[in-house]
Amino acid sequence: MKRLLVVGAGNVGSKVVELSRSKGWEVSGASLSGGDGLLALDVGDSDAVNALPDFDAVVHCAASGRGGEDAYRSVYLRGCRNLSNRFSSAKLIFTSSSSVYSQTDGKMVNEESETLPGRETGRILLEAERVVTDSGGVVVRLAGIYGPGRSVLLRKFLDGEAVIEEDGRRIINQIHRDDAASAVVHLLTMANFPEGEIFNVCDSAPMSQLKVYQGMAAIFGKTLPPSGPRDLNRKRGWTHKQVSNAKIVETGWCPGFPRFLDAVGADGAICATGDLQSSDAY
């Protein structure tokens, strides 16, 4: 039985743990505080990482806790460096972000497209990605994550806080939590591990902000949100691009929810009531 360590067993990580165990892996999850069966681990602490037992594979999907540059350097850059050094012979997957693409022209971007993030946090992510790919690991660039109880678009729409920016043309790129996890497990279990590769993981139908809200208005029988200016204070910056998932689809993976609106209309895919948490859509 192969042994897997999932660093950051939160929203996506907990699903990676579940799916990997269903495929016969012996899985250990880790979080900063530990508890609930998880190892306590500060991934930015080299001594703590070096004290870990051996694993055949490692998935780094820890979050920065909405922290700033220092948190990004600790969790992502030092974390990736520590894991790649400690587990040099293991398969390593790092979940990065499609926010590293800063395009604003609405065109399609793929893994070969220019990455010039306008914020230091994005540049730190790119540096962490290079650590992983240089060591033979795989980088997964996730679009905005949503899922059960988690969708900033749905929460704002239902709470009456949503605003259509200008004419609503900005493209929204998203991925369901379950699909993000299934993509990670798919890459992990491929017959030939794609060493040093980068994959965009998003759904198959990036949609304009206007079409997203039009769809939700039809599903819930509500009026469209009002128009307003661009939100230039978004944590990951204001971008306008279509992220392509063609590369990972060619390996045999496909999203269970090809469109965000497919999940909105599916029972249990996103909770329409209760406490909905926020998550940026890139």
Residue 24 — pLDDT band, cuts 50, 70, 90? very high
Residue 242 — pLDDT band, cuts 50, 70, 90? very high
Q: Which two tokens stand for residue 143?
A: 């679009």
CA dihedral 195, 95, 128, 53 (to 10 degrees): -70
220: phi then psi, degrees, rounded to nearest 5 = -100, 0
For 27-72, write each residue's pLDDT tens digit.
Answer: 999 999 998 899 999 999 999 999 999 999 999 999 987 778 999 9
Q: Which two tokens stand for residue 189?
A: 């279990």
201: which strand partners? 142
Residues 212, 106: Cα–Cα separation, whole Å: 16
Q: When comparing pLDDT for 139 and 272, which is higher?
A: 139
For 155-185, write each residue's pLDDT tens digit.
Answer: 999 999 999 999 999 999 999 999 999 999 9
Task: Check pLDDT > 70 for residue 267.
Answer: no
Average pLDDT over residues 182-196: 97
The pTM (predicted TM-score) of the whole model is 0.93
Predicted pLDDT of residue 280: 44
Domain map of the chain by residue range?
A: 3-148+175-203+246-256
Pair 170, 280: CB distance under 8 Å: no
As a whole-number percent, the residues of the chain with pLDDT over 90 amount to 83
Task: Check pLDDT > 50 for residue 275.
Answer: no
Q: Is 113 exposed, middle or buried (0-12, 13-18, 19+ CB in 10 A)?
A: middle
Q: When comparing pLDDT for 281 and 7, which is higher?
A: 7
Average pLDDT over residues 109-130: 95
Average pLDDT over residues 184-198: 97
| Mean of all residue pLDDT scores within the chain | 92
Residues 122, 138: Cα–Cα separation, whole Å: 18
Report the topology of domain 3-148+175-203+246-256: Rossmann fold (3.40.50)
Residues 88, 237: Cα–Cα separation, whole Å: 34
Predicted pLDDT of residue 277: 45
